[in-house]
A = this chain, B = another copy of it.
Amino acid sequence: MVINPNTSESMTKHLSEALNKIKRSDTMLKVVCAEKGPETIDSAYHEVATILPTLEWVRRANEEKFDAIIIAAFPDPGLIPAKEISTIPVVGIEEAALHVAAMLGARFSVMTTLKQRVPSKREHVYMRGLEHFLASVRSLGQPTAENDADPEGTKKKVVEEGKKAIKDDGAEVIILGCAGMAGYTSDIETELGVPVIDPASVALKIAEGFVDLGLKHSKVGLFATPPANPFK
């Protein structure tokens, strides 16, 4: 199950098409989107508003015995609580993208949407211990909805900022930390001459691998099942 934490149906459709193209033939995908919450995520406030609807899908995926869950928004909203309440593997597209990027070059740059989102991306890289491998976070200067509405224009901006990241910041790999770019990876790669990572695609491959190996997240510490505290 691939969960789009926002409520944008066009993004969910786009995501579904992109992932279906690159999935293995024996992988069955169900791509869902949150039933409530913001249409796009442009702040921590939007992030937290997506968490409970996302966890609701995580709960259902466990009930329905899916093999693996992907949380498909770049800030990985709700990833830790999702792993807590799930006994099936959960992969965040941000965590997958960052770890894979660190294998593909000495330093990577992350493309994000609005300028005010730069610090939070940097924090996420730091939290994963990978700040040493971060060349820069660069903003495209427009919110998620505009990225989604104008893929061609966004592609041009990614290429422009990507070139600066490579030349000025020493980036050897580019991560698309913004929606709506899944189908354009190879075009951008051709123009930039470095690997360009679509986080959702990478997460799907990691998830397929986990299922093949029977690998799951650990349940003894950070992701231990929550006790059944009373709720009001």
Partner of A45, one of B48, B85, B127, B193: B85
A residues 29-64 touching B (CB-CB < 8 Å): 34-49, 51-52, 55
How many subunits of this chain does the assembly comprise? Answer: 6
Binary per-residue interface labels of chain A (206-223) against chain B in the complex, 1 for a CB within 8 Å, 0 otherwise: 101110111111111111
Partner of A127, one of B118, B123, B220, B231: B123
Partner of A106, one of B123, B143, B227: B123
Q: Does A84 contact B (CB under 8 A)?
A: yes
Binary per-residue interface labels of chain A (95-130) against chain B in the complex, 1 for a CB within 8 Å, 0 otherwise: 110011011111100000010101110110011111
- Which residue of chain B lies nearest to A113 when distances are taken between CB atoms in the complex? B227
> Can you add 15 more A-B contacts, CB < 8 Å, to A43-B81, A45-B81?
A36-B231, A39-B230, A43-B84, A43-B226, A104-B218, A105-B222, A105-B223, A106-B120, A119-B170, A119-B221, A143-B229, A194-B218, A195-B215, A205-B206, A205-B213
Residues of chain A having any CB pair with chain B under 8 Å: 7, 22, 24, 34-49, 51-52, 55, 78, 80-81, 84-85, 91, 95-96, 99-100, 102-107, 114, 116, 118-120, 122-123, 126-133, 143-145, 166, 170, 172-173, 186, 193-195, 197-198, 201-202, 205-206, 208-210, 212-224, 226-227, 229-232
